[in-house]
Structure 1
Amino acid sequence: MKTAVAYTGAAIAEIAGCFAFWGWLRLGKPAWWLFPGLLALILFAYLLTLVETNAAGRAYATYGGIYIVASLAWLWMVESIRPDRWDVAGACLCLIGAAIILWGPRG
């Protein structure tokens, strides 16, 4: 459960942080948008350290699948663009891959 919460929080924080930079550079938002964006990116990095695994690379690889799903949720909820069937199919494949990485049997 702790891992799921860490991954979900990390995804929200990373997307929010990156969107702050996107807003500043691409949408003409004021430079002060960068400050909360940087705080969100620091939170993102911290949350990934809470994932229960012995290898950082494995934590990051698994996170990739979660990030893709969260990005599509952001696309829909914040940018008002509904993901299409190809978005959903790709996200499902990524989640399957993330599950294999996270829960695959190891010797």
Structure 2
Amino acid sequence: MIVRSLLLFALAAVAEIGGAWLVWQGWREDRGALWIAAGVIALGAYGFVATFQPDPNFGRILAAYGGVFVAGSLAWGMVVDKFQPDRWDYLGAAICLAGVGVIMYAPR
């Protein structure tokens, strides 16, 4: 169950971060309306992927996903935009991911 949840978080991150990146490219980098449209579709897919999480609480899932988004955004920037995080970026991402673990997977 935890592995499925983690895979869903990863898929959601790709959809949301990728969608936002496509909109950014379409608007800020003048790549056009098709890039923006693809981004909007990907952002919609993100919202749908989140519904497959096994936990029934929207607020908990979205709060935990915030930590995944932080770490995923840094990773996306490293791979796609050649961004080089510093140690504080890494530390912040680690703290966020620890929060994900507590919020989603602590025994209740």
Question: TM-score higher than 0.5 here?
Answer: yes
2:19 alignment partner, one of 17, 20, 45: 17
Q: Which residue of 1 aligns with 2:106?
A: 104
Q: Which residue of 1 aligns with 2:79?
A: 77
Unaligned ranges ≥5, structure 2: none
The RMSD of aligned alpha carbons is: 1.0
Q: Report Cα offsets for 1:41-99 as digits up to 9, x if no partner.
A: 12111110011102000001111111111101111000001111111000001011111
Identity of aligned residues (%): 36
Q: Which residue of 2 aligns with 1:45?
A: 47
Unaligned ranges ≥5, structure 1: none
1:55 aligns with 2:57: yes
Q: Which residue of 1 aligns with 2:66?
A: 64
Number of equivalences: 106
**TM, length-normalised to structure 1:** 0.93
**TM, length-normalised to structure 2:** 0.92
